[in-house]
Amino acid sequence: PAGQGDVPDAVWDRIKDHPCFSEEAHHYFARMHVAVAPACNIQCNYCNRKYDCANESRPGVTSERLTPEQAARKVLAVAARIPQLSVLGIAGPGDALFDWRRTFETFRLVGEKLPDLKFCVSTNGLALPDHVDELARHNIDHVTITINAIDPEIAAGIYPWIYFKGKRHTGIEAARILLDRQMEGLERLTAKGVLVKVNSVLIPGLNDAHLVAVNQAIKARGAFLHNVMPLISDPAHGTRFGLDGVRGPTPAEVKAVQDSLGGGAHLMRHCRQCRADAVGMLGEDLSAEFTLDKLPEAPV
C-alpha cells in the first residue's frame, strides 16, 4: 500500500489503520492526546512543554493539565462526537512515564469504557525499563522513544541533567544513564512484541552526522521506524537551556538526513504536529471545543 516505506508487511498490518502512520488512514481515523503528564525527569536543551514532549517547539497555546479522571471524561466526550476516534496518545507535555501512575490510570479508566481504543505513549526512555510489563498489559498500539544520540559525549550537549532514582545527575554521567536506559527499554519492549518507533530531533552541528549511527543502533534493537524531526528554533524559548545560536535545520538538511537513513521517513511526518491536547483528524485541531469547562460533569 502507498506510504508503506521501509516498514515490513507484518508491522504494516498492525499500523495501517493508525492515522499517524498511514496517509490513507488519516482521512478516516482520528487521534487525540490528553495532557496528563506535566512533569519530566530530564532536561532537554530544546524543550518547550507547551507541546508534547520533543514533538514540537513552536510557541503556542498552553494546554490544560488534566487529572486522569478529567482526561477520561474528555476522551469519552470526544469519542461521542468523533466516532472515528481510534487512538489516544499520552505524550506529555512532560514525560508520560515519569509520573506513570497518571498515565496508566488514564488508560485504565478509558479502557473500561472504550475497549477498542488503541493507546500510544511517547517517552524520553529514562523510566521506560521500569514499565515495560505494565505497558504491554494495556491496549498499547506502539511506544515512541525520543533518542537523539547513542554517544554520551554528544548526548551531554543535548541533556544538561537527568533526575534518576532520587538523584540529579549531570554531564557525561547523566548522558550514560539515559542512553543505557533508552536502549534497555527499546530492547525489552521489542522483545515483548510491542512496536517501538524512535524519534530523533535533528540538531545542526550536534547530532546531524550522528543520526546514521543512532539509526543503526535502534534498528538493530528492533525499532520499526525512525522519525527524524527538525529542531525548531524559537528565539523566545528554544535557547533557554544552552542551545544558544543553534538554528533549526533547513528542509533540505532534514531530507538529506532522512534519505541517508534509507527511506520510510515520509510515514512519520504527522507525529510532530501533535500538541499535548490535540484532538481530531490529523491536520485539524478541535481541542478548543473540548476544554474542561465544556465537558459534561459525569462520565458520558
Contact flag: residue 230 with ligand SF4 (CB under 6 A): no
Return the residue of 7, 15, 35, 40 that touches ligand SF4, per CB under 6 A: 40
In the complex, the smallest distance separating the C-beta of residue 274 from ligand SF4, rounded to whole angstroms, is 4
* Closer residue to ligand SF4 in complex, CB, 97/109: 97
User: How many other CB atoms are found less than 10 A from the CB of residue 160?
Assistant: 16
Return the residue of 7, 15, 36, 42 that touches ligand SF4, per CB under 6 A: 42
Cα separation of 171 and 159, whole Å? Answer: 8
Contact flag: residue 274 with ligand SF4 (CB under 6 A): yes
* Closer residue to ligand SF4 in complex, CB, 76/97: 97
In the complex, the smallest distance separating the C-beta of residue 294 from ligand SF4, rounded to whole angstroms, is 22
* Closer residue to ligand SF4 in complex, CB, 90/257: 90
Stretch that binds ligand SF4, among 43-51, 132-140, 170-178, 179-187 (CB under 6 A): 43-51
Provide the 8-state DSSP code for 10.
H
Q: Is 145 left (phi over 0), alpha (psi -120 to 50) or beta?
A: beta
Cα separation of 241 and 42, whole Å? Answer: 12
Work out the angle at residue 90's Cα, subtended by the Cα atoms of residues 22 and 28, and round it to the nearest 5 degrees. 30
Tell me: cis bond preceding 152? Omega within 30 of 0 counts.
no
Taken in order 281, 285, 290, 291, is the CA torsion positive or negative? positive
* Phi, psi (rounded to 5 degrees) for 244: -55, 130
Three-state DSSP string of 120-143: EEEECCCCHHHHHHHHHHCCEEEE
Contact flag: residue 194 with ligand SF4 (CB under 6 A): no
Residue 77 grid cell: 466526550
Contact flag: residue 226 with ligand SF4 (CB under 6 A): no
Stretch that binds ligand SF4, among 120-128, 168-176, 212-220, 232-240 (CB under 6 A): 120-128
Return the residue of 124, 182, 233, 258 that touches ligand SF4, per CB under 6 A: 124
Contact flag: residue 122 with ligand SF4 (CB under 6 A): yes
Return the residue of 56, 95, 208, 234 that touches ligand SF4, per CB under 6 A: 95
Cα separation of 278 and 269, whole Å? Answer: 16
Size of residue set near ligand SF4 by CB under 6 A: 24
* Closer residue to ligand SF4 in complex, CB, 177/298: 177
Residues in 52-91 at the binding interface with ligand SF4, rule: CB under 6 A? 53-54, 87, 89, 91
Instruction: Please compute, for residue 65, the number of CA atoms within 13 A of its CA located in the half-sphere on the CB side.
Output: 11
Work out the angle at residue 214's Cα, subtended by the Cα atoms of residues 52 and 163, and round it to the nearest 5 degrees. 50
Contact flag: residue 215 with ligand SF4 (CB under 6 A): no
Return the residue of 49, 169, 181, 188 that touches ligand SF4, per CB under 6 A: 49
Give the closest residue to 149 by CA, choosing from 140, 159, 136. Answer: 159
Provide the 8-state DSSP code for 64.
P
Contact flag: residue 280 with ligand SF4 (CB under 6 A): no
Residues near ligand SF4, by CB under 6 A: 20, 31, 33, 40, 42-44, 47, 49, 53-54, 87, 89, 91-92, 94-95, 120, 122, 124, 144, 270-271, 274
